[in-house]
Structure 1
C-alpha cells in the first residue's frame, strides 16, 4: 500500500493542525487552565516525526509528476 502524499501537502496539514492545537491551548489559557509551552512544542515535533515516519514506512513520497503539466 502506498500513501499518495506530497511533502508539501503533509507539511501544510501539520501546520494547520499545529495552529489549531495552539489556538485550543490559547482558549484554555483564557478560561484559566494554563498549559506550558514546552510540552506542546515537543508534541508537535513528535507528531511531525511520526507522520514522516508513517509516510516513509507506507511507500514514500509521491515523486512522479503525472498530470502536472506546465501551463
Structure 2
C-alpha cells in the first residue's frame, strides 16, 4: 500500500505544473467578447480570475480531465 501511495504522490507532483499550465491556458481561452447570452461578461471574468488565483499556488492540482462540449 505504501508503494502505491508513493506512486500516486509522485504522479501528482510530476504533473502538477502541467495541470497548472492547463488552468492558465483555459483562463486565457475564455471568451473576451460577449457570449451568446448564457453567461454575463462578469461571470466569465470571475471564472478567469478564479482559475488564475488557483494557479497562483492557492490550490493543489491532483488531477485534470478535459471534456469537449457539443451543442
Larger Rg: 1
- Greater RCO (Cα-Cα under 8 Å, separation 6 or more): 1
Q: Is the structural similarity TM-score above 0.5?
A: no
Give the TM-score of the pair, scaled to structure 2. 0.41
Give the TM-score of the pair, scaled to structure 1. 0.41
